[in-house]
Structure 1
Amino acid sequence: MLIFIFLCLGGFLAAFVDSIAGGGGLISMPVLMIAGLPAHLALGTNKFGGAAGCLSSAYRYIKSGKTNNEILKKLVPFTIIGSIIGVKCVLSISEQVLNILVFVMILAVAIYTYTSKSLGCENTFEKITNKNLKLGIIMAFLLGFYDGFFGPGTGTFLTFALIKIYGFDFLHASANTKILNLASNFTALILFILNGQIDYKIAVFYAVAMILGGYFGAKVAIKKGSTLIKPIFLIMAFGVAIKLVYQSII
């Protein structure tokens, strides 16, 4: 019984944080590993719960009107295609090399965000242009691909990219990130289901906790806006970087 309480609390917290600024996997994966699940089963079970939590927060953001459906309907298909190819290519790139590359990129994003005080504080989006649409499609495909075969920091990269490409503030970037994340999550989830890598006894409890966490996290983010999201975004970005260094050392 205690283990299920631990899983529910961990799942709720992970989804709550993830719905605000991404990086919830830093919490949700260790919780499952502590509960005794082997790595591949933990990945699949985490994706099951994560997809449910993502759906919950995405619904809350859509309902609030913070998403840009015109952009999303153009980018989501490329995120799905990228995720499918990413899952298929998962074994072709060394995880050690990938850790180093992602560490450098995410640390650069965190430092740039910290030093640029005005970044993501004001929503300056005007319209879709050929330039920002092409950049958005490339970004959606690459990060869908990345999420399909690796994952850590996907939400962080997506949020940062949407701010830089479209001029969103953190709130609107986080809202649109959730929809793109939802697309890549469900794509990967289907593949985990087909490969039998989900512990459904745990996944169902985890999913319920993450649905609640995602819903309330998005609600808090919408209420507090970019002033809350930016510091949590920075904490999670540095957290992902530290996790990657730790993984490389052990």
Structure 2
Amino acid sequence: MWLNLFIICILGFLAAAIDAIAGGGGLISLPALLMIGVPPHLALGTNKFAASMASLNSSITFARSGKVHTSLVKWQIPFTFIGAALGVWAVLSVSSEFLNKAVLVLILIVGIYTLLHKNLGMENKFQGLHPFNLGVGCFFALALGFYDGFFGPGTGSFLIFSFIAFFGFDFVTASANSKVLNFGSNFVSLLLFAWNGKILFSYGIPMALFMIFGSLVGTRLAIRRGAVLVKPIFITMSLLVAVKLIYQYV
């Protein structure tokens, strides 16, 4: 019991720190729970509980630093909620096989495109909101909220890339805003897992505490070090998500 707690707390801390910087923390935290023998359905719910606490902490820290564009995300959050709820509903009746293949291609494109374009996301080129980019922002909030509720891997990477591509944010600002939306979709999923009794609180609570601390460390590192730190970690985590999906598919 104590060894299991030690494992999930240490790996949870690492996962949350990385996730706060560039997304992809689920590649570490979920396998940690499975590794100690937690059944898959309980591992998913417990991980969602701990990750939601960490993403909430990251969102608050980023917001206090002034990196969150509240005038934008206040419009996106309702669409994220709706998308996540629809995604959870859809996964009960639709095969995820096609989505798995599509996401593998998309996440590879995102990672390779970011790697090849050296200046992408290194400077904040945001020029304000207008009806077109606000509409696009709400659409990808809905779509990625749906994806997170339906499937999940790579959501943080897609959100960060979307904020850079559509709004011209730098990596730190994109990471800050993506964390707010990611918390929104996580929260909806968390409620559904809790409603169905799929959270193992004996592991979830201590893991959440360490993940909150990890998210604080990761967020502060991202704010202080900027895009120079965030971009390489973003590329690494995007490609690791792709490798994980290839492994699952093969």
Shorter-normalised TM-score: what interval? over 0.9
Q: Hey, what's the Cα distance between the residues in 2 that align with 1:195 and 1:160?
A: 33
Q: CA deviation at 1:44?
A: 0.2
Correspondence 1:67-216 to 2 at 5 A: 67-216=68-217
Q: Look up the SS of the partner of 1:132 in the other structure.
A: helix
- Per the alignment, residue 41 of structure 2 pairs with 40
Q: Hey, what's the Cα distance between the residues in 2 that align with 1:5 and 1:59?
A: 27
Q: Hey, what's the Cα distance between the residues in 1 that align with 2:64 and 2:135?
A: 27
Q: CA deviation at 1:3?
A: 1.3
Q: Which 5+ residue runs of structure 2 have no aligned equivalent? A: none
Q: CA deviation at 1:98?
A: 1.7
How many residues are matched?
A: 249
Q: Hey, what's the Cα distance between the residues in 2 that align with 1:202 and 1:216?
A: 21
Q: Look up the SS of the partner of 1:89 in the other structure.
A: helix
Correspondence 1:54-69 to 2 at 5 A: 54-69=55-70
Q: Look up the SS of the partner of 2:91 in the other structure.
A: coil
- Per the alignment, residue 3 of structure 1 pairs with 4
- Per the alignment, residue 12 of structure 1 pairs with 13
- Per the alignment, residue 50 of structure 2 pairs with 49
TM (norm. structure 2) is 0.98
Q: Hey, what's the Cα distance between the residues in 2 that align with 1:162 and 1:153?
A: 14
Q: Deviations over 1:128-151 (max 9, x none)?
A: 011101110110000000001110
- Per the alignment, residue 220 of structure 1 pairs with 221
Q: Hey, what's the Cα distance between the residues in 2 that align with 1:3 and 1:86?
A: 32
Q: Hey, what's the Cα distance between the residues in 2 that align with 1:93 and 1:154?
A: 19
Q: CA deviation at 1:5?
A: 0.8
Q: Hey, what's the Cα distance between the residues in 1 that align with 2:115 and 2:52?
A: 29
Q: Deviations over 1:83-135 (max 9, x none)?
A: 01111111333222221110000000111111111110010001101110111
Question: After TM superposition, what 4+ stretches of structure 1 lie above 4 angstroms from structure 2?
Answer: none
Q: Hey, what's the Cα distance between the residues in 1 that align with 2:13 and 2:94?
A: 32
The percentage of counterpart residues that share the same residue type is 50
TM (norm. structure 1) is 0.98
Q: Hey, what's the Cα distance between the residues in 1 that align with 2:136 and 2:118?
A: 24
Q: Hey, what's the Cα distance between the residues in 2 that align with 1:10 and 1:202?
A: 13
Q: CA deviation at 1:59?
A: 1.2
